[in-house]
Structure 1
Amino acid sequence: MSASARPLLFDAHAHLVADDQTAYPRKPMQRAANAPPRMPGVIGTPGGHHGPNPINEVPDVARMLEWMKEENVDGAVAVQKRMIYRYDNSYILDSSDKHPEIFSAVVILDAEDAGTAPLVRQYIQNHGLAGVRLFGGREPDGSMPWLNSPMALKTWEVANEFGLVMNLEVLSVGGGGPSVPALIELTKQYPNVNIAIDHLLEPEMEKSGHYGLDENFEALVPWKNISFKWTSINLDICREEGIPADKVLRRAIDLYGADRLMWGSDIGTSSGTYKDMVQRALDSAVLLNDDEKRALFHDTGRRIFQKGGSGRRA
């Protein structure tokens, strides 16, 4: 399908990875001994939710720009690739500086580092940062106590000052549902922050009734500053587990509205060609009307991820 045949798209979740390993050396993470096991298939390991024959295209910026042009994608959120670069955000910041009209940067930083909050302020001022993704140690049960730790809250304060996006991947036993009370308290405490949740908060979609989008997810409905990404990770689970992706997406939009959902490819982590990722996402939207599709595939992500933040609300 040519770009002219595609609707206008905005990719809210793309991991850029440089071909140039001299300028941008890779620093692969070593998983902690007590880290929860990672499902087969993640980052191209055969099996699991990526299917038996994963294809992993390296999204160097030059290559990514061509793919985006081919698929009629007019912008993307460049999310730091922690498993390759850890907390060295040089590549996505340089990429967004070089192509400011195309890429909006989301850095990954250590939630428990005292230097993180001032560094976020510096990145906003010097690079027009669009968002920050905090990380820390994960407990054996999968929970993430750093999410609202005293040190992490210093970064939340900076994000609140600028109207920045806090882009969160929050997992625990039981999917993302157990983190809901903390998310509600954070959005109450920091009403100027846009909270963007990766991978639809990873509901346990195989559960009966509402595809895992249960009362935990319903509790987030009133909180308009919380939005969600619909990504290839969700689509992979649907494909491998025989779950109807179109009905999961319909349920999510019925809950939150299309102005709180945005598509993200997850290129650089999820397997598949970029063209395939786009097509599978479009196929999942067959139960949506045209306005909902326009919001999901373009307008929501473009509106929420603003360089330098959205400013202070009245």
Structure 2
Amino acid sequence: MRIIDIHPHIISDDATRYPPAPLFGKRSDWSQERPCTVDALIAAMDEAGVDKAAVVHSSTTYGFDNSYVVDGCNLFPDRLIAVGSVDVAAGDAVPVIRGWVDKGLKGLRIFTGGSTKDFDPTELENPAAYPAWEVLGELGVPMCIQTGPIGLPQVTDLAKRFPKVNIILDHLGRPDVLDGPPYANADSLFALADIPNIYLKLTPRIFGDVKKEKASAETFFPKVAAAFGANRMAWGSNFPTSPGTLADILATAKAGLASLSEADQQWIFGKTAQTLYPALAD
């Protein structure tokens, strides 16, 4: 089975060439404690048996400067593509997006909160960002969104307003699954299933949550696959943000999805990624 990772990160060891300038003014702990250069990522991928990756820019290290993720991925064009971040509400967002795409960027991400800031979904409802979304649809560039359940109404609006843009929900939107079957606390996630341009990114967070309290991988992931289809689910390692080796993170994901059919697993571990990022299919 071909393995493609759509959520690793890279951090340069050259702070002069790529100076940190974190979004919200606070740099993430992980980027300082366990940084991973592009060369180290390739080595980890080789060890783990990961064929290709869509590398996600670290907003909590570099803000809106995508230089390292673009430069790093361009060093390994047969293995990596870059997913970056821009200020989509800025007046120059459209030419900035076009400029980064010309340099090799294949996807974008909106970081509304996480390890360094509480979630603020207001960024997702700003009409000033609509021109940026229009150009994403024109260029065929997907958008990852990092938010919690609080932002899912805004995600729904964007998905319906811009049906040509595939939206990838980081960490499944961090659903509450601890109540167990039928997972009523995650109703806001399952309410998105009928919106065809919303995709789900499965990362270590959800593989950890399904081991807690009343949840289980055997009851949760089949429900997600039945609702959304495995062709709208893709695996992302969150390496090195999540602790552990890439090989260990992949092994945990494989164990968590073992109850799904082989065909579904092929979609989640590779084919969906190639749908979202056609450059990974080469």
TM-score normalised to the size of structure 1? 0.79
Q: Which residue of 266, 269, 274 maps to 2:238?
A: 266
When residues 240 and 23 of structure 1 are mapped into structure 2, their CA distance, relative to the original with a 3 A threshold, is: farther
Aligned to 1:17: 11
SS in 2 for 1:248: helix
Q: Which residue of 102, 106, 130 maps to 1:125?
A: 102
SS in 2 for 1:159: helix
Aligned to 2:194: 222
Comparing 77-86 with 115-124, greater Cα deviation is found at 115-124
Q: Which amino acid aligns with 1:181?
A: P
Gaps of 5+ in 2: none
Is the Cα contact below 8 Å between 1:57 and 1:273 reproduced in 2? no
Q: CA deviation at 1:235?
A: 2.0
SS in 2 for 1:130: strand
Q: Which has the higher contact order (CA 8 A, sep 6+)?
A: 1
Q: CA deviation at 1:243?
A: 3.6
Q: CA deviation at 1:123?
A: 1.4
Is the Cα contact below 8 Å between 1:169 and 1:201 reproduced in 2? yes
Q: CA deviation at 1:62?
A: 0.8
Q: CA deviation at 1:162?
A: 1.2
**Residue 73 in structure 1 maps to residue 50 in structure 2:** yes
Is the Cα contact below 8 Å between 1:213 and 1:252 reproduced in 2? no
When residues 132 and 291 of structure 1 are mapped into structure 2, their CA distance, relative to the original with a 3 A threshold, is: same
Q: CA deviation at 1:258?
A: 0.5
Q: Equivalent pairs: percent with the same residue?
A: 28
Q: Please list the CA deviations of residues 263-291 of structure 1 after superposition, one character each: whole Å capped at 9, or x if unmatched.
A: 00001311111111011111101111110
Aligned residues: 276
Is the Cα contact below 8 Å between 2:111 and 2:147 reproduced in 1? no
SS in 2 for 1:77: strand
When residues 251 and 126 of structure 1 are mapped into structure 2, their CA distance, relative to the original with a 3 A threshold, is: same
Q: Please list the CA deviations of residues 162-221 of structure 1 after superposition, one character each: whole Å capped at 9, or x if unmatched.
A: 1210111122xxxx2x43333233222212111111001110111343335643223212
The structure with the largest helix share of the pair is 2
Is the Cα contact below 8 Å between 1:12 and 1:265 reproduced in 2? yes
CA distance in 1, matches of 2:118, 2:40: 38
When residues 232 and 30 of structure 1 are mapped into structure 2, their CA distance, relative to the original with a 3 A threshold, is: same
Aligned to 2:70: 93
Q: Which amino acid aligns with 2:63?
A: R
Gaps of 5+ in 1: 1-6, 33-41, 46-55, 309-314
